[in-house]
Structure 1
Amino acid sequence: MLTKAPLRRPTGVFYGWWVVAACAVINALGGGIHFYGFSVFFLPLKEDLQLTSAATALVFSLSRAEGAIEGPLAGYLIDRLGARVMLFAGASVVAVGYLLLSQTDSFLGFVLVYLLVISLAFNMSFGAATMAATTKWFVRRRSMALAVVTAAFGVGGAAVTPLLSLAVREWGWRSAAMIAGGAVAVLVLPASLLVRSSPESMGLRPDGDGGGAQGAQGHAEAEFTLTEAVHTLAFWLLAAATFLRIGVFGSLIVHFVPIMVWKGQDQASGAFLLAALAFLGIPLRLLFGWLGDRFYKPSLIALGLGMAAVALVILQYSQATWQLWLFVVVMAVSEGITVLNWATLGDFFGRRHFATIRGTMGLIFTWGMVILPVAAGFIFDRTQSYSLALWIFTALMVLGVLVWAILRPPRARARPQAT
């Protein structure tokens, strides 16, 4: 909801950048602990609870299925209640969830805590709320603002995930889970209080521009309701394109450390390579954010997915450590284009109903992270190899290149934002 206040002349640093900074801190912790961090917990949890690879990956996949189901509600609540409320509530529950996870001693307990506490709260807040808030604060510089916010996921993977891996190695996964919960409580809760849902709620305009007719004209953009959006071809193509990109990349993150172990590395080296992938994605996200404000975003994404297909072929034939590093470097391009996916959604359908539209689209694209990780785990359990899974991922990346290449914005009359 874009709540309006009397317009005032902007002074000092545009508050939208403070929102970006707060969202970056939130995503760094969320990315490092929940997204990249699952790969660090994968093998210790599997061994401690005596699970198969498919069963362990199933929990991750079910958390994404849960995210798909609750996505429309999460989006509606973010648009209705505001990002700050959802972030504070979600972070509080996630912190408690990791403390509970440290005490689980069965597969059922793992499933209940991870799905009904941690993932439920995370999916209702964190990435969904930070991207919605950032999208509403920027129009002209949307790609760069989102680049900073999403690059924080990479910062988390590069800085937080190795620390999490170190904690697992030194004190065990249970102590590491307790530390993770404490970090969320200490860092994310205060950061969430800095977030405001829109510039209009503070009497400002997107990008920090001044008021008047010229400012209003500068922010004329397409504004779709959910009903209008789902009746466009662009909505369904964007959902399919996102399914392919997010499904393959999410599956690689879940199985990254096990894949590196399969390739002859130890767990610590695998976690380090994962951190390197996240670290390399940081400058690439910023670069693609800058490019996305200047060039057609779907074409840039198609280029990035082409690089991802090449990277997967490199991984398939890797036999030496330097070849695994080459895979990481090339694959980092796919990590870098993430920002453009959500900037494209904002460009196509506008700011006002961004979270609701993204949440509804999640009913489609999130299933990529439900089906593919379990399929990869199933293949490994049956063959003791990730080779077939990697070939499937490569084919899906090539298909993704084609879908992103033909994607075009929906036709709609641009409407100035209300003043």
Structure 2
Amino acid sequence: MSEAEPMRVRRYHYAWVIAGLTFLTLLATAGVRATPSVLIVPLEREFGWSRATISLAISVNLLLYGLIGPFAAALMDRVGVRRTMLGSLAAVATGVALSTQISTPWQLVLLWGVVVGGGTGMTALVLGATVVNRWFAERRGLVLGVLTASSATGQMVFLPALAATVSRYGWRPAVLVVAGVAALLLPLIAFLMRDRPEDIGLRPFGAAADAALVTTRVDRPFAAAVGALRDGLRSRDFWLLAGSFFVCGLSTNGLVGTHLIPACMDAGIPEIHAAGLLAAMGLFDLLGTTASGWLSDRYDNRVLLCWYYALRGLALIYLPFGLVDASWGLSAFAVLYGLDWIATVPPTVKLTADAFGRERSGIMFGWIVAAHQLGAAVATFGAGTIRSVIGDYQPAFLTSGGFCLVTAAMVLQIGRGRTSTLAVQVDPETEVAVA
């Protein structure tokens, strides 16, 4: 590898630049996805729409965010990560900016649900998994933990400022700020992002000089994504991973990420204070998810998931009681829940790669993320409907907590008695398993 020799004198590996660009992109899209939590009440007041109606648009957004993932992973293999990221950011910036002109519910569903949901779905969790698997042979769990934590960091960075902007200037200027941030990333990605380390004469970070490089090119992204789903549905591990991630979505961004601020306002807690609470949770999640990535490189990932879901379930069951005493009850919830918010991602990605192989893990994880977002969509619309019908979020929080406790036992069965050969017998043209 003579071309790579000059690169070795550098004090850094370009993989870290790629990881930084990916972090910024996920940070910005996380800010976009966190924005609806500060828009629900202002939209309710301005247009007189019910919380269930507004939640429907957010549900469509979350659902598309997940469903686009598997096809985005295949598209990254076909046209490249850089082009996929550029298309995503352009769609997000356009859809968010145009949403300031809405006046009817269908426009909210079209712009925030379809356009923004589809755009953010192209840079969903599969982006981080794809980048890590291509650019890193070492420290994959740690890097993935940091990239995953970017969604919490985005919340931490954006929510207090957005809540203050909504309170002082209204919701439209806040939305334009988010659109501007997405647009500012476009030139950075265009000039600095690269698809694979071999494109610039490098090996993945930490890869041995004689390590074989496995590269696939997907000529039919749609067929590859559908074929991966078909194969996954025949795998017991896929059902366990997708089912557990469904509950993850049911208990995180679909419920707490969307409805905690409105629930706090119902309890008499000001919107800015509630947004600050979510931001604090984002800070704790940054620590928790980064630590989870480090732990996933060293310990049994099934046991880690068991602990994460059990602790999250207990935190959600406690939340309705914490809302009664905002002085310390919500602070305790923010710490316990925040540390665990999306700590499930690094172990889930590692278990997916173990089951289906590193090169194919992007598309397979994309379908698992789709299950996550289906759970998030169910929680968003369901909690909004429960609040509209009975005037209280308590049943939604308690039900979600119960599902987490059941899932804590379920994840221990992942990989038990595995007989699948999907990880090694894959058609490189379509990424479809062959007999």
TM-score above 0.5, yes or no: yes
Output the CA distance in 1 between the equivalents of 2:120 and 2:259.
Answer: 20
SS in 2 for 1:102: helix
Report whether the alignment pairs 1:355 with 2:362.
Answer: yes
Aligned-pair CA distance for 1:193: 4.2
SS in 1 for 2:341: helix
Aligned counterpart for 1:366 among listed residues 373, 387, 406: 373
Aligned to 1:330: 336
What do residues 241-300 of structure 1 show as CA deviations (whole Å, max 9, x unaligned)?
Answer: 111112211221110101212333111111110111111111111111111110122211
Report whether the alignment pairs 1:402 with 2:416.
Answer: no
Output the CA distance in 1 between the equivalents of 2:2 and 2:44.
Answer: 56
User: For residues 188 and 305 of structure 1, do their structure 2 counterparts lie closer, same or farther at Cα, with a shift above 3 Å needed?
Assistant: farther
Output the CA distance in 1 between the equivalents of 2:402 and 2:233.
Answer: 28
**Are the aligned partners of 1:304 and 1:333 in contact in 2 as well (CA < 8 Å)?**
no
**Are the aligned partners of 1:92 and 1:189 in contact in 2 as well (CA < 8 Å)?**
no
Report whether the alignment pairs 1:257 with 2:255.
Answer: no
What do residues 90-132 of structure 1 show as CA deviations (whole Å, max 9, x unaligned)?
Answer: 1012111111011212212211211232112111235432332
Aligned to 1:268: 272
Q: Could you tell me which amino acid in structure 1 is paired with residue 52 of structure 2?
A: A
Aligned to 2:24: 25
Report matched runs for 1:8-407 at 5 Å.
Answer: 8-9=4-5, 11=8, 12=10, 13-32=12-31, 34-191=32-189, 193-212=191-210, 215-216=211-212, 226=228, 228-250=231-253, 251-318=255-322, 319-321=324-326, 322-340=328-346, 341-407=348-414
Output the CA distance in 1 between the equivalents of 2:382 and 2:63.
Answer: 14
SS in 1 for 2:38: helix
TM-score normalised over the length of structure 1: 0.89
Q: Could you tell me which amino acid in structure 2 is paired with residue 92 of structure 1?
A: A
User: For residues 389 and 278 of structure 1, do their structure 2 counterparts lie closer, same or farther at Cα, with a shift above 3 Å needed?
Assistant: same
User: For residues 168 and 189 of structure 1, do their structure 2 counterparts lie closer, same or farther at Cα, with a shift above 3 Å needed?
Assistant: farther
What do residues 345-373 of structure 1 show as CA deviations (whole Å, max 9, x unaligned)?
Answer: 23432332233222333443321012121
Output the CA distance in 2 between the equivalents of 1:96 and 1:399.
Answer: 41
Aligned length: 407
Q: Could you tell me which amino acid in structure 1 is paired with residue 335 of structure 2?
A: V
Does 56-65 or 333-342 show the bigger shift? 333-342
Does 189-198 or 148-157 show the bigger shift? 189-198
TM-score normalised over the length of structure 2: 0.86
**Are the aligned partners of 2:245 and 2:372 in contact in 1 as well (CA < 8 Å)?**
yes
Aligned-pair CA distance for 1:16: 1.4
Aligned-pair CA distance for 1:145: 0.9
Question: Kindly, what percent of the aligned residue pairs are identical?
Answer: 24
**Are the aligned partners of 1:26 and 1:192 in contact in 2 as well (CA < 8 Å)?**
no
SS in 2 for 1:385: coil
User: For residues 333 and 269 of structure 1, do their structure 2 counterparts lie closer, same or farther at Cα, with a shift above 3 Å needed?
Assistant: same
Aligned-pair CA distance for 1:138: 2.2
**Are the aligned partners of 1:59 and 1:111 in contact in 2 as well (CA < 8 Å)?**
yes
Does 389-398 or 258-267 show the bigger shift? 258-267
Aligned to 1:221: none
What do residues 371-395 of structure 1 show as CA deviations (whole Å, max 9, x unaligned)?
Answer: 1211111111111111111110111
Does 407-416 or 385-394 show the bigger shift? 407-416
What do residues 181-230 of structure 1 show as CA deviations (whole Å, max 9, x unaligned)?
Answer: 11111135414643323334334333332311xx349xxxxxx9826544
What do residues 391-413 of structure 1 show as CA deviations (whole Å, max 9, x unaligned)?
Answer: 10111111121121221274467
Output the CA distance in 2 between the equivalents of 1:378 and 1:263.
Answer: 18
SS in 1 for 2:196: coil
